[in-house]
């Protein structure tokens, strides 16, 4: 199993550009989420999804869009990048389809380091 795969690992954007951070998991997990990690601020939840077709906002959703058309994929879109979005982004998943929902651990991807100039 590959687990949670994030692409790209590094990205540099200019202010105003758009891009999509990809996240895929092969563990049949229902729950997927996006976090950003900034020095001195820990990880902050951007958006999350509890299943295909269902998404919701986390703590810091402004400037980001998500969709969940399949169980496996949960892309994060930056429509117009801003320097304040320079960060390390982590995708995480948990929960097995068909099983009773419990607070299982989060499986994290290896991160995407994004710089917006």
CB of 60 to other proteins, least distance (A): 12
Comparing CA positions, the residue from 113, 117, 116 lying closest to residue 38 is: 113
Cα 30 to its chain centre, rounded Å, is: 14
Q: Which of 53, 80, 101, 117 binds other proteins (CB under 8 A)?
A: 101
What is d(CA 29, CA 95) in angstroms, rounded to the nearest whole number? 5
Q: Which is nearer to other proteins, 1 or 103 (CB)?
A: 103
Residue from 21, 78, 109, 114 that binds other proteins (CB under 8 A)? 109
Residues 55, 45: Cα–Cα separation, whole Å: 13
Restricted to residues 35-94, the positions that interact with other proteins (CB under 8 A) are: 35, 40-45, 48, 50, 58-59, 90, 92, 94
CB atoms within 10 A of CB 105: 7
Going from the C-alpha of 71 to that of each of 26, 27, 30, 42, the distances in angstroms are 9, 10, 7, 27
Of residues 18-37, those binding other proteins (CB under 8 A): 31, 33, 35
Q: How far is the CB of 67 from other proteins (least distance, A)?
A: 18
Binding residues for other proteins, rule CB under 8 A, total 28
- Residues near other proteins (CB under 8 A): 4, 31, 33, 35, 40-45, 48, 50, 58-59, 90, 92, 94-95, 101-106, 108-111
């Amino acid at each position: 199993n590959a687990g949670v795969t994030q692409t790209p690992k590094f990205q540099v954007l200019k202010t105003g550009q758009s891009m999509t951070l990809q996240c895929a998991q092969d563990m049949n997990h229902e729950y997927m989420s996006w976090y950003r990690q900034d020095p001195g601020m820990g990880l902050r939840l951007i958006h999350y999804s509890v299943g295909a077709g269902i998404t919701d906002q986390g703590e810091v959703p402004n400037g980001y869009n998500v969709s969940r058309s399949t169980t496996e994929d949960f892309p994060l879109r930056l429509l117009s990048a801003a320097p304040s979005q320079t960060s390390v982004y982590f995708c995480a998943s948990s929960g097995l389809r068909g099983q009773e929902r419990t607070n299982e651990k989060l499986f994290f991807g290896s991160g995407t380091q994004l710089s917006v100039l």
